[in-house]
Amino acid sequence: MNRRALYGAIEAGGTKFVCAAGYGPTDIAPQMRTVIATTTPAETLAAVVAFFEQVRANAGAFSAFGVGAFGPVDIEPRSDTWGSILNTPKPGWAGTSLVAPLEVFGCPVALDTDVNAAALAEARLGAGQDANSLTYVTVGTGIGGGVIDQGRSIRGMLHPELGHIRVHRDPRDAQFRGVCPFHGDCLEGLASGPAIVARWGAPMSALPIGHAGPDIIGGYLGQLAATIALMYASERIVFGGGVMSGADLLPRIRAVAAEQLGGYLPIEARAGGFERLIVAPALAGQAGITGALLLAMG
Ligand code: ZN
């Protein structure tokens, strides 16, 4: 009889749910992993439960579940709506509980945002293994950030919403109004994937050589990196997501962060310089599901 604790993990995204079961964060057998399209809550969650029921039939009962969810999601355990998607524009999902369907497994469920879960994985097993604090920023359809300090994500009335910070406008970008429905030209409104397509008609990866886009976007993200360094004193700042993989933005981000900070923080002495402070993810596409497994393991 196998007595090792079995954990279930869900990376609940706006386009797909990655589900996995394993005995440790890097111990997921191929048959214990699946990807389910995010359609209606009823259809998607029924498929999720069916997958884990099949795993349970083969491998035995679960010890705990970990869920890293797209937001906004209620991650406050004392709240009546803990585990529910909040006011999302995604049709049908507002008010949907991601944890209630897992009650049939009769074990604890740990929940955090998808970005916090990815940040946790990068902090413990990826780019931040040798640092005590890490912020993970994803730049894609939206811009989100997870802040890990001493191995735990920072939370408050909600979760940090780094993507909605305002930044100084690049003079070359003065005419664009921004795409954030709440703030117009906040960071997400200016530097997310949809913002890039809205003003230049192509994603970052398809902009022609010499286009000012990467320089402008890297500049905005460099401002964010400086803000993160000032606010959270993170020893490592990881930039991932589709926009980041579309161009080599890190050198520009580092240069603008350095310019903004003006030598004020001990980056060289304490973080090993900007090349060590601001880095690419180490876990690539595995950070989210790995982080959900870490959540399950507590
Ligand atoms: Zn905004």
Structural domain of 71: 7-115+287-297
Q: Are residues 267 and 132 in the same domain?
A: yes
Angle at the Cα of 223 from the Cα atoms of 220 and 229, rounded to 5 degrees: 145
Cα of 184 vs centre of ligand 1, distance in Å, is 6
Q: Are residues 169 and 231 in the same domain?
A: yes
Q: Are residues 134 and 197 in the same domain?
A: yes
pLDDT above 70: residue 6: yes
Cα of 93 vs centre of ligand 1, distance in Å, is 20
- Closest by CA position to 194, among listed 253, 150, 141: 141
Report, as an integer, the average pLDDT of 163-181. Answer: 96
Q: Are residues 268 and 145 in the same domain?
A: yes
2 domain-assigned: no
Following DSSP, what letter does each residue of 268-285 receive, concatenated?
A: IIIISSHHHHEE--SSGG
Cα of 181 vs centre of ligand 1, distance in Å, is 7
Q: Are residues 138 and 266 in the same domain?
A: yes
Cα of 244 vs centre of ligand 1, distance in Å, is 19
Cα of 20 vs centre of ligand 1, distance in Å, is 32
Cα of 180 vs centre of ligand 1, distance in Å, is 5
State pLDDT tens for residues 25-76: 888 888 899 999 999 999 999 999 999 999 999 999 999 999 999 988 999 9
Cα of 178 vs centre of ligand 1, distance in Å, is 9
- Residue 234 banded pLDDT, cuts 50, 70, 90: very high
Confirm if 155 and 165 have CB atoms less than 8 A apart: no
- Residue 149 banded pLDDT, cuts 50, 70, 90: very high
Q: Are residues 67 and 178 in the same domain?
A: no
pLDDT at site 26: 84
pLDDT at site 71: 81
Rg for the chain (alpha carbons), in Å? 20
Cα of 292 vs centre of ligand 1, distance in Å, is 26
Q: Are residues 142 and 216 in the same domain?
A: yes
Report, as an integer, the average pLDDT of 93-121. Answer: 96
Average pLDDT, the chain: 94
Pairing of strands 16-22, 7-12: antiparallel
pLDDT at site 2: 55
State pLDDT tens for residues 259-280: 999 999 999 988 899 999 999 9
Q: Are residues 132 and 264 in the same domain?
A: yes
d(CA 135, CA 144): 10
120 domain-assigned: no
d(CA 242, CA 96): 27
277 domain-assigned: yes
Strand partners, 147: 135
- Closest by CA position to 214, among listed 259, 173, 179: 173
Cα of 188 vs centre of ligand 1, distance in Å, is 6
Task: Tell me the backbone φ, ψ of residue 152, rounded to 5 degrees.
Answer: -130, 150
Q: Are residues 272 and 293 in the same domain?
A: no
Cα of 161 vs centre of ligand 1, distance in Å, is 9
Mean pLDDT lowest among 14-18, 25-29, 101-105, 220-224 = 25-29
pLDDT at site 3: 67
Cα of 162 vs centre of ligand 1, distance in Å, is 9
272 domain-assigned: yes
Following DSSP, what letter does each residue of 130-159 receive, concatenated?
A: T-SEEEEEEESSSEEEEEEETTEE--SSS-
121 domain-assigned: no
**Count of the separate structural domains present in the chain:** 2
Pairing of strands 16-22, 33-37: antiparallel
Q: Are residues 198 and 182 in the same domain?
A: yes
Report, as an integer, the average pLDDT of 177-196. Answer: 96
123 domain-assigned: no
89 domain-assigned: yes
Q: Are residues 170 and 75 in the same domain?
A: no
29 domain-assigned: yes
- Residue 155 banded pLDDT, cuts 50, 70, 90: confident
Q: What is the DSSP letter of 107?
A: S
pLDDT above 70: residue 169: yes
Q: Residue 133 belongs to a domain with what CATH number?
A: 3.30.420.40
Cα of 186 vs centre of ligand 1, distance in Å, is 5
Confirm if 69 and 102 have CB atoms less than 8 A apart: no
Q: Are residues 106 and 199 in the same domain?
A: no
- Residue 178 banded pLDDT, cuts 50, 70, 90: very high
Cα of 164 vs centre of ligand 1, distance in Å, is 4
Cα of 179 vs centre of ligand 1, distance in Å, is 8
